[in-house]
Chains A and B, each alone.
Chain A
Amino acid sequence: MAGSTLRFSLLLAAAFAGRATALWPWPQYIQTSELRYTIFPQSFQFQYHLSSAAQVGCSVLDEAFQRYRDLLFGSVAFRFPHPIEKRHTSEKNSLVVLVVTPGCDQFPSLGSVENYTLTINDEQSLLLSETVWGALRGLETFSQLIWRSPEGTFYVNKTDIEDFPRFPHRGLLLDTSRHYLPLASILDTLDVMAYNKFNVFHWHLVDDSSFPYESFTFPELTKKGSYNPATHIYTAQDVKEVIEYARLRGIRVLAEFDTPGHTLSWGPGVPGLLTPCYSGSHPSGTFGPVNPALNNTYEFMSTFFLEISTVFPDFYLHLGGDEVDFTCWLLDIVSAYGKGYVVWQEVFDNKVKVRPDTIIQVWREEIPVKYVKELALVTRAGFRALLSAPWYLNHITYGPDWKEIYLVEPLAFEGSPEQKALVIGGEACMWGEYVDSTNLVPRLWPRAGAVAERLWSNKMVSNLDFAFKRLAHFRCELLSSPESRHTPHP
């Protein structure tokens, strides 16, 4: 990628101090000018290009057009009188969308192409993308380019953008076990993720504290393992809704069922599953991890993960994992169901034999080695890696900690270009020990935005002042969007 192009575009942004400085995350290539076009909410339309592979009826884009209309013009659309004057070139009344490859009904995947180009000039107003997923990213960018004069007129400047993500896996982890998060909180989070071009929702569904996932093969898990089986659960319908809501925003749902540790809440619903702990030669009445020594365990896991493999459409499942033997056969079960898997770094650290296409998520900052070193080790062994260690957003401190989060360079480890290519991205993690729906949103945003730009934009985009200006602006945009329930902290 051309660093010079980038510097050029940064200079431009500084020179024109116009609307482009409101973009987040910053595009790979951008050129804007002071020439601006008026947009009349009443007549403005998103349109499919005649030769676009996606046309009316494409759920992903039809819905997105509706969403961005509301987001941009929401309440104002009908308060403005229709302009009576004749049309002229300084007016834009549409954005034409051209998608090259058909496919509106699939799920996004790790391999999805998110590239797009956006061209706003005298001749055209065109969003061109390989796939609908790229179109979604472009629509978000387009919405960030539109600005309003103090008199209330909408404008978009003459702009050329060519954009694509630096990493294909840009995730956010929510933990719905330590505290239950209402469906509305999850859906709101997916909205804000889309504004930040995140594309993976890592759903840490269950853990020691509670088991809110309602399983249809083992309903007792939720009945006995949730905080409250009447209110604090995710029904099959809820899960479906999350997956579809995410899909429409180009976001994958990566479900995590962490075993064999972190499973206390599984115990009450499946007698015999957990290992009874002993004190001396007597059972102490407490329980440890899943008991790997029993045949029943194997059967239970096979059945349970068959369900999970069916319910969650993504190719990947997150299996958590830290113990050798157990993880070994669990991985076999899951690959038999045709799934790939992500595991926490312990599985690698403990030298479990895993398939070469396993993705290792690096989460420990210092132990056993610094995370930078861990990335080098994981990729040298030929595994793909995901970085989370410096992005535990549940850890809070006083002051603008987004800067530290922002300045992380995921590829700053010693390794060959091939090793670097194995880092497929990273995830911001919001563990739930101290977080529920009362404080999730302001704790998450805009701090997670810093991770989003690091994972999307060119590595040269690292100027803190430039980022501060745009992020501060972006936060206010989030606050003023029609869904004012998105309330990031200052």
Chain B
Amino acid sequence: MEQRGLGRLRLPGLLALLAGLVVQAALGTRRTQTPRLSASRDLNLWPLPLSVMTTPRLLYLSPRNDFFGHSPTSKAGPSCAVLQEAFRRYYDYIFGFYKWPLGSDNIPREMELQKLEVSVIMDPECDSFPSITSDESYTLLVKGPVATLTANRVWGVLRGLETFSQLIYQDSYGTFTANESNIVDSPRFPHRGILIDTSRHFLPVKTILKTLDAMAFNKFNVLHWHIVDDQSFPYQSISFPELSNKGSYSLSHVYTPNDVHTVIEYARLRGIRILPEFDSPGHTASWGKGQEDLLTPCYHAREPSGTFGPINPILNSTYSFLSKLFKEISTVFPDEFIHLGGDEVNFNCWKSNPAVLRFMRNKRFGKIEKLQSFYMQMVLDMISAMKKRSVVWQEVYDDEGELTPGTVVQVWKKQNFPMKLSQVTAAGFPVILSAPWYLDLISYGEDWRQYYSVKPLNFAGTPEQKQLVIGGEACIWGEYVDATNLTPRLWPRASAVGERLWSHQEVTDLEDAYRRLTRHRCRMVGRGIAAQPLFTGYCEHEGGM
């Protein structure tokens, strides 16, 4: 897909403004070389940046209120909410969560790090939403007395602040310390997502926000919100309030427009997109409660059996309902993409319904799959007409003769997924990979290693095909997950996926990953995320867990 290329092309524009050394490092490491690491022994960075150079020279931080600031030449200033909020957060993460150091006044001037100056080079996009093409690259030069963080857009600054916070540690006297370093970084894939499922179990807004925090610590940038499904319809629709009135678990298990807005804005401030999924025509049992005649009546021995199947694809009323609903969704959710689902449609009910069969005969649909494509095509066209783009589960590609170009296909079936990646990309469609990353499937032991060892581009295909893999998602489906166990089940297992999608493909050393991830997990615990342990051991700051 062109987006990845675009992201890359902008980079030299930024680099031209930086020291020659940095340019060399950045360009030199693009695809051809392993990331450069020096003195990486003690680095606790996660995910590992593209290029890291550190020296043994130590710098001591003075935690002043104005530690973070804007460079005079930056295109962004104090009016940029994304950055002001981020400064406040990272000040807390770095200085607030630990004991204050004793005697930090006695830092020798030449070893002092007084400030981190942030410089945004292009239009900062302070008031925009992040998108698939957002530039997340940044350069971080940590030296005394003033460190600099440079990026084309605010999104890169956010990633750089996270990295900067990971460089800081307290020495044995409690002084905040960092090694002099030079980091050049940009993501390997532009789509790095976490899927949450708020239908099988409702997740309180608080829990979703916590997840967004943890995502930012791992440089994830997409929250795929599988908001409704068979079990419940917690999304409160403005156009069709009955959907959640009747389809939610209870009236307190609902996301109001205000809740949704809160999530979107909280995510935006962390450079995270919200990808809403309204899965149809299957997985829609809960829709039927609040919208009459939407679902297909199933038949048994020529009589309606009283049960209902997928959305009824043969009625005009279905499409006028969907058009109105998706119109609302396309306004409520600012992202360019809407996920339309399209997975696991049970055809038996359709096959049992005489009206459906008649419709198929009239349309000369030979196979039932044709009906599914007919339905999906109708919805896909709606979305295109709304100037949005669609993501669908892989079945839609499998069943569809001609899928709208540019539709993103999400590959989730584990069996032989590299072959599926080959097929879909050969047909020219962008893909998101989830198949090896179903984190709800738990097992005993260190399963993060297997998530970490996945090679997303390890399939038969041309370089152009590989370019079509825009990223991946770790999925934590909700059958056995609610607010009681989401966080420890998701983290740090999802962190393994986070590094796989951000870091260079040759960052694969499991022992080094274990060492860094163990510390990264403790860092998350210190920041209030109940991430579970990798193996035996302990964290210095376990308080509050």
Contacts and interface: CB of A to CB of B under 8 A. Distances in A.
* A and B are interacting partners: yes
Interface string B357-385: 00000000000000000000000000000
Nearest to A438: B530
A399 B538 CA distance: 29
Nearest to B532: A439
B201 to A, nearest CB: 6
Given A438-B488, A438-B530, A439-B488, A490 B536 contact: no
A238 to B, nearest CB: 16
Given A437-B542, A437-B545, A438-B525, A227 B444 contact: no
A398 B481 CA distance: 11
Given A437-B542, A479-B484, A488-B484, A394 B444 contact: yes
Contacts, number: 90
A182 B542 contact: yes
Interface string A172-190: 0000001110100000000
A489 B292 CA distance: 35
A438 B537 CA distance: 13
A113 B134 CA distance: 69
B480 interface: yes
A397 B442 contact: yes
B442 A489 contact: no
A176 B485 CA distance: 21
Contacts of B201: 490
A1 interface: no
Contacts of B399: none
Interface string B67-78: 000000000000
Contacts of A180: 538, 542
A400 B442 CA distance: 12
Interface stretch (A76-84, A409-417, A428-436, A466-474): A428-436
A442 B484 contact: yes
Contact of B538 (A179, A398, A443): A179
B537 to A, nearest CB: 7
Interface in A394-452: 394-400, 432-439, 441-443
A439 B537 contact: no
A33 to B, nearest CB: 30
B535 interface: yes
A439 B536 contact: no
B545 A396 contact: no
A228 interface: yes
Given A489-B485, A490-B201, A435 B444 contact: no
A434 B536 CA distance: 7
Interface string B507-535: 00000000000000000010000111111
A206 to B, nearest CB: 13
B111 to A, nearest CB: 28
A489 B534 CA distance: 20
A433 B532 CA distance: 11
Contact of A396 (B443, B531, B536, B537): B443
Interface string B463-502: 0000000000000000011111101110000000000000
Nearest to A184: B545
Contacts of B443: 396-398
Contacts of A432: 536
A232 interface: yes
Contacts of B440: 398
Interface string B423-451: 00000000000000000111111100000
B402 interface: no
Contacts of A488: 484
B155 to A, nearest CB: 30
B105 interface: no
B42 interface: no
- Which of B531, B532, B534, B540 counts the most A-chain CB atoms under 10 A from its CB? B532
Contacts of B482: 489-490
A252 B239 CA distance: 59
Interface of B: 201, 440-446, 480-485, 487-489, 525, 530-538, 540, 542, 545
Given A209-B536, A398-B480, A490-B482, 6 more contacts: A182-B542, A434-B533, A435-B532, A437-B545, A438-B530, A490-B201
24 contacts: A179-B537, A180-B538, A182-B545, A210-B538, A396-B443, A398-B440, A398-B443, A400-B480, A433-B535, A434-B444, A435-B532, A436-B538, A438-B525, A438-B532, A439-B532, A441-B484, A443-B485, A487-B483, A487-B485, A488-B484, A489-B481, A489-B484, A489-B485, A490-B484
Q: List the 6 closest A-B pairs by CB distance, nearest first.
A: A439-B488, A442-B485, A489-B485, A487-B484, A227-B538, A438-B530
